[in-house]
Structure 1
Amino acid sequence: MESAGSDSFLRNRRFDSFFNTSSESQVKEPLKIPVKQVEYRSGGPQASNECVDGDGDDDGWFCVLISWVRIVTCFVTMMVTTFIWALIMILLLPWPYERIRQGNVYGHVTGRLLMWILGNPIKIEGADYSKERAIYISNHASPIDIFLVMWLTPTGTVGIAKKEIIWYPLFGQLYVLARHIRLDRAKPTAAIQSMKEAACAIVENKLSLIIFPEGTRSKNGRLLPFKKGFIHLALQSRLPIVPMVLTGTHRAWRKGSLHVRPAPITVRYLPPISTADWTADKIDDYMTMLHDMYIKNLPEPQKPLV
């Protein structure tokens, strides 16, 4: 139930959401994306020539000032859009599936705006695979990764986060209103039950899923070991898995840092991997296969140390 203005604004990309909805609800077909590789420069405020490298730890006071302006602008923008969509969600309380769709619109608008503000050059490869109804997985080394998956995963996608997300001001409450999944990572039994409920809802309502298989954010950008949860979801839902390989985000905004650099970013969708014939006795093999696939497609500074 997107407005005409939103449709126009979002014609190049999309996003996610989930949960306890009517089984006859249908997922809106993702917006069309060119099959060829897409090169896109964000168009936000451009960095000065002194700030374009993105590798150094100290880029000078001017670059730091620009970085702070971008971060504050991102924060204010996110608070404004989150407040607006929280009001929309409250009005839609009797209609769970419409809340999911509006959560998608929120992700498209907010993720796209935040990336425009940060101004990083973005290159998107294999974009045709982003139209699949699937389990999308992504490596995770920066807050920017969240902005990108909000913007780039298709309408009708749900997310998974730790249960503590509810305490994040406005954003956490919107996350719950949009019917996303929350996991209690301190209680394995509760987490397994949440996964089972998620798989059932995904199948019944024809939804997709986005998950970070590392389970946490990498501190140095290097790929961490994968958790098994997404494999269990694939076995229960039989959805294909579409890997999203993000490179450069750890250089653009490092974990624990408040300094954003204009480093170039690449988002690469790999071809869908069928799970139709997967069996529970080979979970470790599937996880190793996908982890090795990321190692093969990541640049050397983001590969795990042996």
Structure 2
Amino acid sequence: MRTILIIIFLGLYGIVTLPLLLAIYIIGFFSKKKQYAWCKGFTACLCRGIMFLTGSTIDITGYENIPDETVLFVGNHRSIFDIVTLLFIINRPFGFVGKAEVTKWPYVNMVLSMLGGLFIDRSDNRKALKTILEGIALLKSGHSLLIFPEGTRNKKSTEPLPFKQGSLKLADKANVPIVPFSIRGTDDVFENNSFLNIKRSNIKVNFGKPVLLSTLASEDRKKSGSYVRDLVIQLLHK
């Protein structure tokens, strides 16, 4: 029943709001700031509706650890529903750094791009480097980003896969703090069942204290991927 309601909701929302989405796209030619504000409101309503229809609840811990300055959010990746959850609860400007494969979903690609998102093509080193440089520039300009350094959803273990070291260069080169976070329960919505059998879940999100890589000991900074992964694991077990 939940699946049917969500499909109907997404279909109607997509049809009814398509003119608004196109208007938001056009606004971007004149003001990226206004485009983001309108698109954030658009996605907040969408995510709120999806969350309500799944019947899921969210427990948030450590939200006060997020500083007012620009940050790179870094956490584990369990589900497609991670994106819905994080857009719903993080009430500040930020964009996702995702895989290039996401660009194959036109509607999703358009929305995430207007939110200041970036897409890394790991099959092409030159394109990947260009995207990393764009991300560094965005962070330096004051726009926070969020990345899942595992590179893909972890469907086998409760603990995150190894973090890709290059992912954290964004924070290192831009000299912005990393806010580690853990997320649990999102895969219980449908990945652990099936899309045709969506279930409610109690989702838990835990934000840790910010870490500035430049202040770490040289050994920890060289292995910042492992260092931040350990912080995320600690958050998962709290």
In which range does the TM-score fall when normalised by the shorter chain?
A: 0.7 to 0.9
- Separation in 2, partners of 1:82, 1:193: 33
Q: What residue identity is the alignment partner of 1:236?
A: K
CA distance in 2, matches of 1:286, 1:201: 21
- The answer on whether the counterparts of 2:47 and 2:88 sit within 8 Å (CA) in structure 1 is yes
1:174-202 deviations in Å (ceiling 9; x for gaps): 33344421222210221012101221122
Q: Does 1:169 align with 2:112?
A: no
Structure 2 residue 231 is the aligned partner of structure 1 residue 288: no
Contact 1:225 1:291 in 2 (8 A): yes
The aligned counterpart of 1:72 is: 7
Give the whole-Å Cα distance in 1 for the aligned partners of 2:127 and 2:215. Answer: 28
Equivalent of residue 262 in structure 1, options 178, 200, 203: 200
The answer to which of 206-215 and 75-84 deviates more is 75-84
Equivalent residue in structure 1 for 2:41, among 100, 105, 111: 105
Unpaired segments ≥5 residues, structure 2: none
Residue equivalent to 1:91: 26
Conserved? CA contact 2:182–2:233, under 8 Å: no
Deviation at 1:78, TM superposition (A): 5.3
Residue in structure 2 matched with residue 274 of structure 1 by the alignment? 212
Report the CA distance shift for 1:279/1:106 in structure 2 as closer, same or farther (over 3 A).
Answer: farther
Distance 1:84 1:126, change over 3 A: farther
Calculate the TM-score normalised by the size of structure 2.
0.85
CA shift at 1:89, angstroms?
1.9
What's the TM-score, normalizing by structure 1?
Answer: 0.68
Q: CA deviation at 1:208?
A: 0.7
Report if the CA contact (8 A) 1:134-1:242 is conserved: yes
Query: What CA distance in whole angstroms lies between the structure 1 residues aligned with 2:85 and 2:152?
Result: 16
Alignment coverage as a number of residue pairs: 234
| Percentage identity across paired residues of the two chains | 22
Which residue type is aligned with residue 288 of structure 1? S
Deviation string for 1:38-90 (max 9, x for gaps)? xxxxxxxxxxxxxxxxxxxxxxxxxxxx2422441453365257625422323
How far apart in 2 are the matches of 1:275 and 1:256?
39
Do the aligned residues in 1 keep the contact of 2:95 with 2:145 (CA within 8 Å)? yes
- 2: CA distance, partners of 1:182 / 1:289: 24
Give the Cα–Cα distance (whole angstroms) in 1 for the partners of residues 49 and 139 of structure 2: 28
Match of 1:231 in 2: 168
Map of 1:115 onto structure 2: 51
Moved more, 277-286 or 290-299: 277-286
Select the structure that is richer in helix. Answer: 2
Deviations 1:70-115 (A, max 9, x none): 4414533652576254223233022223222323223322222211
Distance in 1 of aligned mates of 2:192 and 2:134? 32
Shift of 1:136: 0.7
| Aligned residues: CA RMSD | 2.6
The one of 153, 157, 182 equivalent to 1:217 is: 153
| Unpaired stretches in structure 1, ≥5 consecutive residues | 1-65, 301-306
Q: 1:208 aligns with which of 144, 161, 183?
A: 144
Q: Secondary structure at the match of 1:215?
A: coil
Q: In the TM superposition, what is the alpha-carbon distance from 1:142 to its structure 2 partner? A: 1.2
1:149 alignment partner, SS class: helix
Q: Judge conservation of contact 1:135–1:210 (CA < 8 Å) in 2.
A: yes
**Residue 153 of structure 1 pairs with residue 90 of structure 2:** yes
